[in-house]
Structure 1
């Protein structure tokens, strides 16, 4: 039996899910996911790693469908509910999914894709009954999920994680962040990424805790949920924290204080999926009383590095390797770097994915000969803690023989009183190879000459931006990350 399902049997009468004003126990989740497994099997004994793509809004239905796929022996392929039809078709075609599951609200989007391929389609509102069969015994080495990661070049690749991978990712975080059955977390994250699926839902349900869903994100809805008094954990991307801060600042002082008092009682607040600006971290501490726990992970590896649950969290740093996760920094020749020197993060251990779906060459290229996964992210160990310098392909600017971190320059720019937000990129240059360019969202008119003089005082000896563009808002993707390619288009 899948270990996550075994864990649920230990907490049958605990509330597992709250969504749409209703509560569901672990016993209900086990029963309903078993029924859905029968529906998927349709008389078969095992889906045998058949891919099942599903487009379901966040909430109880999402979880029972996901568990039903796993328990029937299928590989779950969650579809992004905001993807355009072309992107949905790409994922369905690439995974060769044979079954498509959808909430009623998405039927009109998926039906043409289903009809074109003559696929089996299950709409969750359709009443169906199927003969009961014994659910298959699932080997932990079998594929469990395919999530898509775009990286920075080429078409998105499907990341295949096994049940053993997912279990390792969940148990590592449960141990490191001290999850308990009494915990109650609010989920506001997209559910086609590892952040929401594993860090929030997976860890909560492994622990016997409660996961609450909002129909859709809004600062008002989040703070209203906080004020109900049950929630004691929260995880989000930096953009969400930025939006919550901006909304909190518009409230009357008595409402601000009430929210701050409530949030101070939380056990843990976590930020991830993008670099957390130190300015946002500091503002959130004033708003909530919490120093956000920043961690580092990827679709391919789950979480690998985390600031401590107990102990000092260093602003601008991601902490130390999680239990059971091997991490090393290497240079361009794949040799370990000296202490204090930047290097590519490489990861090894049971959390690391099995393969890129039907891309053997990409899978081979992603690993070193001795089995380390190449993340493509550059970091340095500073003050005993890992600090991300950026993505080697987009955040490391090679100028005049030096490697500059776009993220470090961004952090300094954000401390200027006239700058609300910024994004830094490398621009091609014949003389220097690359020069630094910055896109600024300003709070007030700014003199660029004076800004450069100020930057030189803040970063002595460092190459400051040569080119600036001022915009009203930075382009970001669905996870709140600044899209560097879009920044280049601005120039």
Structure 2
């Protein structure tokens, strides 16, 4: 990967001012339009928290449209750390993020002003805020001379600032059950984006349909910053909607240059898109042939990540569209470090080879599995530069370790958690068991049974258990994932009621959960037990118990 200086996205925009950066429900927005609004907002940020401040955490609650990019770029232009917040999360969870990162300011769209008020109440103190009126979402055709633009840019940080400063904090759930703030520097983001530009051969001619959440690395780094780094266009949909996505896939009301060339999704998205295809386009041969011809002629790549893609989905998608989905592997802490090469074999269930700049080890730990002092044996080691087809006959299974400029800086204010996830010699421990087989890597699963992968999200079972144990009618509980064709895993909970003679209202319980948890972590499957099979240490063997509890066991009762 070419070695160059760190140039944040809002500065790269100067190379593509007249091109369309974002298309959303409000219209088309050029790079110039987004940049000028971002600089205007950056000045509002500085006026609000002080011109002398640097590297403050700025939370922002924006819909999936141009205001998200404007807010992100504004944080960077002002020299601060962007903390994207999801509007689908309940105020209690958003309040935790705001308090944990010690946000100096929250930017919110007008449509989320009530949610902002609820977050303020949860935090228990007034936090400075900037409300973006609806005019921020509208397209404004602005003419600026080079001299005027140079003068405007004088109000932003100089290029040298970004070489050693932090850029963004994304929250993820760990095995402790508490979400951790993953701090990414501008160098980290630059490395993560540029390696994908090279792997997936991004160019300014590309157009991507974007329907991913924007508080996760998949939606922010892979699907948004990659196109914005090269001057491509991003069609931002308000949310995932199968009908709207297919309409964009097959849009005949735009020029050939405006037609989508890329799509990224999680396996659940592809499964739901196939269901819509079957009911809308799959009924006649003529429709099926039209869809296949349109997709295969216009799209150069479709990518799946955040969870394992079921093999049937891979083959059904290929049959419907003519496209073999590219699978990749990554984490918030490291970006997408493994990907099927565009010119390589698309092998279902495998996530390919190392990305540029990434070094990989498969290891076997010989002492405690936790902490930087754990000793380990290197079973296999390679990197993008060293990777060779000579490995074709090798087959190794081990814990996946990663090193490179893409690896995050730290967990915010959690030095012990940071130290635990790195080896003594500086390698990041992903927590995944990985197999190298016939030239490709394959993810076997989490080393911990407490992480559930559902619909592209990585969910902490311990976090859910903590919430459930706060319910007055629940005495004990355990949570784990059970296999599901559509979601990969479904969140399942086994409860022990405080009063065994009473029942519990499932509808009321689900509503109680939704008021306290993100919607995608609320359990969808429930069982009642008189007691849980805990060992002498008070632990439940979740892998074995899941097989029993959700296999029509007469010792349990369904909710």
Q: If the TM-score is normalised by the length of the shorter chain, which range does it land in?
A: 0.7 to 0.9
Q: State which of 377, 388, 393 in structure 2 corresponds to 1:335.
A: 377
Shift of 1:153: 2.6
Alpha-carbon separation, structure 2, partners of 1:425 and 1:40: 40
Q: Structure 2-normalised TM-score?
A: 0.71
Alpha-carbon separation, structure 1, partners of 2:53 and 2:267: 39
Matches within 5 A, 1:181-260: 181-228=204-251, 230-251=259-280, 252-253=283-284, 254-260=286-292
The one-character-per-residue Cα deviations of 1:343-390 (angstroms, maximum 9, x if unpaired) are: 111100000000100011111111111110000000010111001110
Partner of 1:462: none
Partner of 1:135: 156
Is the 8 Å Cα contact of residues 307 and 320 (structure 1) preserved in structure 2? yes
Shift of 1:275: 1.0
**Kindly tell me: are residues 145 and 421 of structure 1, through their superposed partners in 2, closer, same or farther at Cα, counting changes over 3 Å?**
closer
Asked if 1:53 is matched to 2:76, the reply is no
Partner of 1:176: 199
Is the 8 Å Cα contact of residues 17 and 30 (structure 2) preserved in structure 1? yes
Matches within 5 A, 1:443-482: 468-469=550-551
Partner of 2:325: 292
Is the 8 Å Cα contact of residues 389 and 395 (structure 1) preserved in structure 2? no
Is the 8 Å Cα contact of residues 45 and 136 (structure 1) preserved in structure 2? no
Alpha-carbon separation, structure 1, partners of 2:348 and 2:357: 24
The one-character-per-residue Cα deviations of 1:409-441 (angstroms, maximum 9, x if unpaired) are: xxxx99xxxx888759999798xx9696698xx
Is the 8 Å Cα contact of residues 263 and 302 (structure 2) preserved in structure 1? yes
**Kindly tell me: are residues 264 and 46 of structure 1, through their superposed partners in 2, closer, same or farther at Cα, counting changes over 3 Å?**
farther
The one-character-per-residue Cα deviations of 1:115-156 (angstroms, maximum 9, x if unpaired) are: 63221111101899xx98721223222111111110233311
The one-character-per-residue Cα deviations of 1:147-177 (angstroms, maximum 9, x if unpaired) are: 1110233311000000110000000000010
Partner of 1:384: 439
- What do you get for the CA RMSD once the two structures are aligned? 3.0
Partner of 1:72: 78
Alpha-carbon separation, structure 2, partners of 1:213 and 1:469: 42
Partner of 2:293: 261
Partner of 1:322: 355
Asked if 1:304 is matched to 2:325, the reply is no
Alpha-carbon separation, structure 1, partners of 2:133 and 2:491: 48
Please give the secondary structure, in 2, of the residue aligned with 1:241. helix
Shift of 1:188: 0.2
Shift of 1:3: 3.5
Please give the secondary structure, in 2, of the residue aligned with 1:255. helix
Alpha-carbon separation, structure 2, partners of 1:92 and 1:289: 45
Q: State which of 93, 104, 120 in structure 1 corresponds to 2:99.
A: 93
Is the 8 Å Cα contact of residues 22 and 233 (structure 2) preserved in structure 1? yes
Asked if 1:371 is matched to 2:426, the reply is yes
Q: How many residues align?
A: 426
Partner of 2:23: 18
Is the 8 Å Cα contact of residues 410 and 418 (structure 2) preserved in structure 1? yes
Partner of 1:281: 314
**Kindly tell me: are residues 69 and 470 of structure 1, through their superposed partners in 2, closer, same or farther at Cα, counting changes over 3 Å?**
farther
Please give the secondary structure, in 2, of the residue aligned with 1:249. helix
Shift of 1:106: 1.2
Partner of 1:271: 304
Please give the secondary structure, in 2, of the residue aligned with 1:376. strand
Is the 8 Å Cα contact of residues 433 and 443 (structure 2) preserved in structure 1? yes
The one-character-per-residue Cα deviations of 1:236-287 (angstroms, maximum 9, x if unpaired) are: 0000000001111112323333222211120100000111111111111111
Partner of 1:348: 403
Shift of 1:489: 11
Shift of 1:467: 7.1
Partner of 2:147: none
Is the 8 Å Cα contact of residues 271 and 293 (structure 1) preserved in structure 2? yes
Asked if 1:119 is matched to 2:127, the reply is yes
Alpha-carbon separation, structure 1, partners of 2:217 and 2:352: 19
Is the 8 Å Cα contact of residues 429 and 435 (structure 1) preserved in structure 2? no
Partner of 2:524: none
Q: State which of 145, 169, 186 in structure 1 corresponds to 2:168.
A: 145
Is the 8 Å Cα contact of residues 52 and 99 (structure 1) preserved in structure 2? yes
Please give the secondary structure, in 1, of the residue aligned with 2:234. strand
**Kindly tell me: are residues 421 and 88 of structure 1, through their superposed partners in 2, closer, same or farther at Cα, counting changes over 3 Å?**
closer
Alpha-carbon separation, structure 2, partners of 1:281 and 1:438: 31
Q: Which runs of 4+ in 1 moved over 6 A?
A: 419-422, 424-430, 488-491
Higher relative contact order (CA 8 A, sep 6+): 2
The one-character-per-residue Cα deviations of 1:44-98 (angstroms, maximum 9, x if unpaired) are: 4454110110000001111011100111011001111110010010000000001
